[in-house]
Amino acid sequence: MQTSNTPDHTRPPTFQPPRAPFRGVATTAGVMYLITIVASIPAQFVSYAPVLNNADYVLGAGADTRVMWGGLLEVITALACIGTAVVLFPVVRRQHEGAALGFVTARVFEASLIITGVVAMLSVVTLRQPSASGADAAARLVTSEALVAAHDWTFILGPGVMPGINAVLLGYVMYRSGLVPRAIPAIGLLGAPLFLVAGAATVVGVNEPGSVWTALATLPIFAWEASLGVWLTARGFKADAVRRLCAGDQASV
């Protein structure tokens, strides 16, 4: 007679499906991509609005807390921006190490421009002094205008140009490797030239940052990054593509 303390060897072992290769990497990268989207939009178009839309902000009542929250969201965006590249690097370098390294460098450069813009916006908050008058008030206005101009250029050269370069580098690797459905990187690869042309036109003064052309050029890049983030978070890398990359590493040893 079997007691309750005797193990039941007749019971079949519980089956545990194998974990998909690099599943944690894919999920982390996907979440970070979504964070860059969720955090950046309110920062630029909501939180910074009091400073960007009011030339006399430094002499008025201000909305410092709102602007500082925007700065925090931008810092989160910059860190997540770097995180997407650092997390993906060990995987995508197996397909093309040069493109993977270029992607990391481009993301770090983009993040540095974002942080520069944050410093400019928070500096305006520091300068705000409603009681200033005369030469002091004039100096604060001039300095504030310069800081806002610096922020505007960091936005043009950062989020206004670098996502197109990122789409070319990472999109190429993702398309060639098949780590995600090829329709996803194809959106980025097709949209990148239009985005870069619009960005270059803005830099030389032919196009405006908020123009219809800019909005249309941004849509494919937004769709590429959003779809990549959702796919990596929900599904991860395609297992057969990961196996091919790993097999290629072993064959090259």
- Per residue in 82-132, pLDDT tens? 999 999 999 999 999 999 999 999 999 999 999 999 999 999 999 999 988
Tell me the whole-structure pTM to 2 decimals: 0.86
- Give the per-residue pLDDT at 250: 53
Q: What is the mean pLDDT of the chain?
A: 89
DSSP the chain: ---TTS--TTSPPPP-PPPPTTHHHHHHHHHHHHHHHHHHHHIIIIITHHHHT-TTGGGS---HHHHHHHHHHHHHHHHHHHHHHHHHHHHHTTT-HHHHHHHHHHHHHHHHHHHHHHHHHHHHHHH--TT--HHHHHHHHHHHHHHHHHHHHHHHHTTTTHHHHHHHHHHHHHHHHTSS-THHHHHHHHHHHHHHHHHHHHHTTSS-TTSHHHHHHHHHHHHHHHHHHHHHHHT-S-HHHHHHHHHHHHHH-
Q: Per-residue pLDDT tens for 198-252?
A: 999 999 999 998 889 999 999 999 999 999 999 999 999 998 988 888 776 555 5
Q: Which amino acid is at 199?
A: G
